[in-house]
């Protein structure tokens, strides 16, 4: 696919990448990162898997990327996101993978965050012909459908001018992610119906947004952020198929006209993942599992080298511990573990060896 080259993809290259995923029956992991280290681990995993990748930041992830030393949290969320996008643009070319740069859930409180990031991309587009991000997400699912879609219309009109895409959420993904949403009680008998999006809602979104520009839909089919013990909430990917058929018939379109995303992918059953991909999911979010994969080897390393984290020089043996406590050693262990977990995700999603930059 000649339009897709290593680096951050936007515009037609992004749409071609999405189309390739759906046509060939695979999806890409959307990896939440918080630092250059976690981004590099994601890029390394993609290169090892021979796949492309979606890299995304939550508002808190963007703030952390900028550094907690910046006291203005709102400013840090913006400049952290911009810094991450620039890091990805340079490094993706050297890792040889196509990267979709995306920001995760932004509810009404964080609409100004998206607005400020767009200003940076508008400036970059005017100067270089390319936005800094492939897409942003507006998660207004806790509001009325009218308030949700009217705001999405406003932003998509603006984003289309600089060849960016918009991700929207219809229905509510259970759980909490970086301060957005609510922890889910899976022990209750009555499950919130908003956890399952109705085809009529998806069709209204298509009718209003499709004429304006490219968009994708995070439709709720029982998804839950984080990893929970089994409860009453069940994944029902068939809801996605019902929406695809409904919109296709209503608008006289072809097979699977909607571009779906899968939130709350960590801990999901592999069979359900495969089914959802077959119904038009091209993107599956993964955060909780990669956080644990990154952190676990650090704890193991500290336990195995406990004295090195108490003394620079062992008081009993005079042994210097610089080589043990050097952050490059244990951070590298974290990166390798995160990359290994992501390589598993690429396999689960059928993306291994599918990079469109290779052919």
CATH classification at residue 46: 3.20.20.70
Structure-model confidence comparison of residues 177 and 158, the more confident one: 158
Was 169 annotated as part of a binding site? yes
In total, the chain counts a number of residues equal to: 359
Neighbours of 114 (CB within 10 A): 22
Q: How many CB atoms lie within 10 A of CB 63?
A: 25
> Residue 266 annotated as binding?
yes
Q: Where are the alpha helices (DSSP H) in 176-225?
A: 199-209
Joined together, the tokens standing for residue 100 give 């979709």
- Let me know if residue 354 belongs to a domain: no
Structural domain includes residue 104: yes
Q: Is 67 within a domain?
A: yes
In a domain, 116, yes or no: yes
Q: Please indicate if the annotation marks 287 as binding a ligand.
A: yes
Parent domain of 32: 7-349
Task: Return the structure tokens found at 218.
Answer: 């995070």
Q: What's the pLDDT at 267?
A: 56
Under DSSP, the state recorded for 140 is -
Q: Which two tokens stand for residue 145?
A: 């459908």
Residue 276 confidence (pLDDT) above 80:
yes
Q: What average pLDDT does range 159-181 have in this prediction?
A: 76
Bigger pLDDT: 2 vs 219: 219
Whether 104 is catalytic: yes
Q: Tokens 């050693």 belong to which residue?
A: 329
> Is 84 among the domain residues?
yes
Report yes or no on 283 lying in a domain: yes
Alpha helix stretches (DSSP H) within the chain: 11-24, 36-49, 59-66, 73-95, 111-128, 145-160, 199-209, 238-251, 270-278, 288-304, 322-325, 327-348
Global pTM reads: 0.90
Rounded-to-integer distance, Cα 231 and Cα 235, Å = 11
pLDDT for 266 equals 54
Residue 117 has pLDDT above 70, yes or no: yes
Per the annotation, does 251 bind a ligand? no
288 is in an annotated binding site: yes
| Confidence tier at 48 by pLDDT (50, 70, 90) | very high
- Catalytic residue, candidates 52, 104, 178, 259: 104
Q: What is the pLDDT of residue 208?
A: 98
The token pair that represents 263 in the structure block? 């939130």
Annotated binding residue 226: yes
Number of structural domains in the chain: 1
Query: Quick one: pLDDT at residue 273?
Result: 85
Token code pair at residue 171: 């229905």
In a domain, 357, yes or no: no
Mean pLDDT (the chain, rounded): 91
Question: 230 pLDDT band (50/70/90 cuts)?
Answer: very low
CA atoms within 13 A on the CB side of 327: 1
């Amino acid at each position: 696919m000649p339009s897709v080259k290593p680096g951050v993809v936007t515009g037609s290259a992004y749409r071609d990448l999405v189309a390739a995923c759906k046509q060939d029956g695979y999806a890409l992991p959307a990896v939440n990162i918080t630092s250059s280290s976690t981004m590099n681990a994601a890029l390394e995993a993609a290169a090892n898997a021979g796949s492309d990748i979606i890299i995304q930041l939550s508002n808190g992830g963007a703030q952390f990327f900028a550094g907690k030393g910046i006291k203005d949290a709102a400013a840090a969320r913006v400049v952290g996101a911009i810094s991450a996008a620039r890091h990805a643009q340079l490094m993706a070319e050297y890792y040889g993978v196509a990267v979709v740069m995306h920001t995760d859930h932004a509810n009404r409180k964080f609409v100004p965050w998206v607005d400020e990031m767009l200003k940076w991309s508008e400036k970059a587009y005017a100067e270089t012909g390319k936005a800094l991000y492939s897409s942003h997400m507006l998660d207004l699912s806790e509001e009325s459908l009218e308030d949700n879609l009217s705001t999405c219309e406003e932003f998509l009109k603006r984003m289309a001018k600089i060849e960016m895409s918009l991700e929207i959420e219809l229905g509510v993904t259970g759980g909490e992610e970086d301060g957005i949403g609510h922890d889910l009680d899976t022990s209750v008998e009555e499950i919130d119906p908003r956890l399952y999006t109705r085809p009529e809602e998806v069709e209204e979104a298509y009718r209003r947004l499709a004429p304006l520009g490219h968009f994708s839909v995070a439709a709720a089919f029982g998804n839950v952020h984080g990893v929970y013990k089994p409860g009453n909430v069940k994944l029902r990917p068939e809801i996605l198929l019902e929406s695809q058929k409904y919109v296709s018939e209503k608008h006289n379109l072809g097979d699977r006209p909607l571009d779906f995303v899968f939130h709350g992918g960590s801990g999901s059953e592999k069979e359900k993942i495969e089914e959802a991909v077959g119904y038009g999911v091209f993107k599956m979010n993964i955060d909780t599992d990669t956080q644990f994969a990154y952190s676990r080897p650090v704890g193991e390393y500290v336990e195995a080298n406990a004295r090195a984290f108490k003394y620079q020089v062992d008081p009993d043996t005079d042994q210097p511990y610089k080589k043990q406590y050097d952050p490059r050693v244990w951070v590298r262990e974290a990166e390798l573990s995160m990359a290994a977990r992501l390589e598993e995700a690429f396999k689960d999603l059928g993306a291994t060896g599918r990079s469109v930059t290779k052919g």
